[in-house]
Amino acid sequence: MAALRSDAARSRARIIDIARTHDRATLRLNEVAREAGVGVGTVYRHFPTVHALVEALSVDTLDAMLATSRRAAAVPDPGEGLALYLRSALTLQLEDGGLQAVLLSPEDEAEAVRTVKREIFETFASLLEAARAAGAIRADLTVGHLAHLVCGIEHAVRLGSPDDLPLLLQVMLDGLKPQPLATYTG
């Protein structure tokens, strides 16, 4: 990203500040422009699509997610490491309402986002591999399954209250373990 002219940097920051006060799912670029005191054209030049703005709002959270995944990789017990990462990812996704969309989007506006996402997924994959090797997790689960499950639990928590997080997370974590006994498969 080339250095921005000072006025452009100011506009961009104002837009992001205002956008942060809005629900990510119902962002209206024209409304953000009005509240930020800039022209609509300015918003659309900085962020050609709503997704571009949502992405920009999530870069900090993405960095936090990467940091967490690396911290999790340093945990001696692979099962605990994976669990720590899953818990953190879920918490971050619940805090940042746009993160799920950014993580799942196949296209990224910003090159930096693409890079961080790749690094997160790579770390995530090695966490899973280690946990599997340690027999801490069902062998038939892929990184995709886990990512989708986290998004699913996020969805479930959003349908209820944040207070449900610990319980629903625990249900997921328990379900991920290799099951000792045959389970009903009707």
Residues that bind DNA (CB under 7 A): 4-8, 10-11, 28-31, 37-42, 44-46, 48-50
Residue 58 C-beta-side C-alpha neighbours within 13 Å: 33
Q: How far apart are CA 73 and CA 173, in angstroms?
A: 17
C-beta atoms surrounding 43 within 10 Å? 25
Which position among 34, 51, 71, 138 is part of the footprint of a second copy (CB under 8 A)? 138
Q: How far apart are CA 72 and CA 112, in angstroms?
A: 22
Q: Least CB distance from residue 96 to DNA, whole Å?
A: 21
For 109-141, letters b (16+ CB in 10 Å) and e give beeebeebbeebeebbeebbebbbeeebbeeee
The number of residues that bind a second copy (CB under 8 A) is 40
In the bound state with a second copy, the residue whose beta carbon lies nearer, of 42 and 93, is 93
Which position among 29, 43, 83, 92 is part of the footprint of a second copy (CB under 8 A)? 83
Q: Does residue 145 interact with a second copy by CB under 8 A?
A: yes
Q: Does residue 152 interact with a second copy by CB under 8 A?
A: yes
The CA-based angle 52-161-137, given to 5 degrees, is 80
Q: Does residue 79 interact with a second copy by CB under 8 A?
A: yes
Q: Least CB distance from residue 166 to a second copy, whole Å?
A: 8
| Residues that bind a second copy in the complex, under the rule CB under 8 A | 79-80, 83-84, 87, 104, 138, 140-141, 144-145, 147-149, 151-157, 159-160, 164, 167-168, 170-177, 179-180, 183-186
